[in-house]
């Protein structure tokens, strides 16, 4: 099944609004593994990415040739005021990279990384 067919069938979110809504309902969302250093490291990236996408809903996005890094860095700073994710610089970069791809291309951005697709959710195992 192609990525477009996965989007059309509802398996993948149709846009960032759909992804954030699924997350908020506690549903799973297809994303791309970015960290590779364990579940806590990866969850911080995915939470940061979803919260960054939330701030991009309804915002005019930069063009293809414009400076996405500066644009996203300001929005990520706002995310980090609300969520203490304890990010490394590499994690912040991964969040901005993934958010830029999803915001500009939707889940079609995953065409070349199907081997790194993962299911993410706001539900996280707890021992408390």
Q: pLDDT digit string (tens) for 75-127?
A: 887 887 777 777 777 888 898 889 999 998 899 888 888 888 988 998 876 65
Residue pLDDT, tens place only, 14-26: 999 999 999 999 9
Residues spanned by the domain of 86:
3-120
Any alpha helices (H) in 9-88, and if so which ranges?
Answer: 16-24, 39-56, 68-82
Tens-place pLDDT, residues 32-48: 998 777 777 888 899 98
Whole-number Å distance between alpha carbons of 91 and 89: 5
Taking only the tens place, the pLDDT of each residue in 51-80 is 999 999 998 888 777 788 888 888 887 887
Q: Is residue 72 a part of any domain in this protein? A: yes
What is the distance between the alpha carbons of residues 35 and 12, in angstroms, rounded to a whole number?
21
Residue 12 lies in a domain: yes
- 54, part of any domain: yes
Determine, yes or no, domain membership for 128: no
Within 13 Å of residue 55, how many CA atoms lie on the same side as its CB? 20
**Distance between CA atoms of 120 and 27, rounded to whole angstroms?**
9
Which pLDDT does position 53 carry in this prediction? Answer: 95
Domain total in the chain: 1
Helix axes 89-105, 16-24, angle to 10 degrees: 120
Residue 125, domain member (yes or no): no
* Nearest by Cα to 46 from 88, 103, 85, 14: 85
- Whether 48 is in a domain gets the answer yes
**Token digits for 29?**
């969302």
Q: What is the pLDDT of residue 126?
A: 61
């Amino acid at each position: 099944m192609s990525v477009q067919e996965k989007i059309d069938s509802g398996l993948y979110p149709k846009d960032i609004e759909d992804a954030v809504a699924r997350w908020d309902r506690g549903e799973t969302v297809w994303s791309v593994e970015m960290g590779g250093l364990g579940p806590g490291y990866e969850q911080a990236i995915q939470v940061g990415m979803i919260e960054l996408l939330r701030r991009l809903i309804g915002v005019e996005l930069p063009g293809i040739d414009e400076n996405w890094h500066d644009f996203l860095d300001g929005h990520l700073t706002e995310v980090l005021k609300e969520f203490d994710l304890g990010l490394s610089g590499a994690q912040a970069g991964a969040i901005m990279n993934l958010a830029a791809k999803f915001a500009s291309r939707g889940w079609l951005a995953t065409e070349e990384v199907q081997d790194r697709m993962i299911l993410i959710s706001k539900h996280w195992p707890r021992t408390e």
